[in-house]
Structure 1
Amino acid sequence: MTIDLKSPFGALLLALTIIAFCYLLLPILVIVVAPLGSTGYLSFPPQSLTLKWYQAALNDTRYVGSFLTSLKVATITAIVSTVIGILAAHGLTRYEFRGRKFIEALFLSPLILPTLVLAVGLSIFFSRTGLLTGTARLAASHVIVCTPYVIRVSLPVFQRFDRTLEEAAQNLGATPLQSFLMVLLPVVRPAIIAGAVMAFITSFDEVVLALFLAEPSAPTLPVTIYSAVQLGFDPSVAAVSGLLVLLTMALMVIYHIFGAVRD
């Protein structure tokens, strides 16, 4: 279906689209540009362009260390959540058994549970049992929150998968494990990638669980930013956010470049 942009409806649709994009992108542009000012406070448009606030953010060991901690926790969370979520989605769609709907609801229950309640409960649980400490404790709590997202993304793809493809592979001599790895996983790869990315972003951006469960000596980046804002807003805090935006944009550009080359 094509829309004539010269018609009144097409022109109106184009105008609404531009307004929507500006509404979404202008706040991000402000975050990136505002720290370029030389003043000790944020102003837009910036005055007397300088990179000193971005340099201060890059040279601040608090932000660099917390970024590495968040990156480590998010990577572990994304890997574990993707493995658990993909296997759970496969089992829930492949087999019919009593209580399947209940197990599915149990897996997805963290989505409707307030994060603050979950953080308090996990904090009490880990403090009384002493099962995990440090980064492992925070990563485990993030897995609980992120796995439902992977399952939610993967379930529709697994439900649409044609099982005769696996049966054909097994008839040709493949084992169930080989058909799973060589037939099913390549077909559902978009769901795996989407689930892993969603788990990574959710873990990296999570602040409530990190406030309760992260080690005071190794806070995550959202906790460090939150603490800095509480003590007094500094342009370097906005510079950290701007750096994250620029890093995300760079990764998106690289992804599209590699996708275009592969195609």
Structure 2
Amino acid sequence: MANITAADVNKLRQVTGAGMMDCKKALVEAEGDFDKAIEILRKKGQKVAANRADRDSAEGAVIAAVNADKTSGVIISLNCETDFVAKNESFVKLATDLATLALNYETKDDFLAASFNGLTVADKLTEQTGVIGEKIEIGSYEKLDGPFVGAYIHAGNRIATLVSLSANVDGAEEAAKNVAMQAAAMAPLALNEEGVDSAVVEKEIEIAKDQLRQEGKPEAMLDNIAKGKLGRFFKDNTLVNQDYIKDSKLSVSEYVKSVDSNLTVTGFRRVALA
């Protein structure tokens, strides 16, 4: 039987993040073979992942990252089962490291197949499921490219946003962050009127007409009045038309143009835990 020292156990714990007893058992089973012990812990993770596959992973950390050129950003949510795990410093660091890696991949599938510290991302998540004892998975995966991309992560890592602007001008970084904060706080449905799904528009028109009928308005007037109400809906629910939260005298579009007269918001992404 191999002589398993406390230093061996601690080394395995540092590498894998597994508990002391789990590491000792793995080393004993592996007869002191370090690499084999890691594989044993990974297999334990795969077993735990299968057992917890039907569990709800509604908690987690939502992280946004932007590349060095400020031309591309990504948001990922690293989901888990409990708030306790989600707030753990090492869990948030893992989410942050994964978001940085995700900048290099266009799709979630490519990202999950990417190499991360000697494992694929998918295998790392399986390993961490075994270490932590909770279902760990990538939930949302959103990319955004543009001439200038900024990000915002709300305190507590439950909401993150990306915003793209039409040009990298003086003040673009602050403007992008401010608009990203707006998107986090106000949860717009779309960037502008054109981005709202036609089914949503039709539903809003019908709701407005029903309200007007109940108010006794003549049928012939309903279309015009409903369109006016639709304008209010667009103002409240599309990012560029919303009142800017730091100065309600301006719309978001007007705020951005106050930074540079030619500047516009070209896109946004928002991810929030339920």
Structure number with greater CO (CA < 8 Å, separation at least 6) is 1
Name whichever structure is richer in helix by fraction.
1
Greater Rg over alpha carbons, structure = 2
Say yes or no: TM over 0.5. no
- TM-score with structure 2 setting the length: 0.23
Name whichever structure is richer in strand by fraction.
2
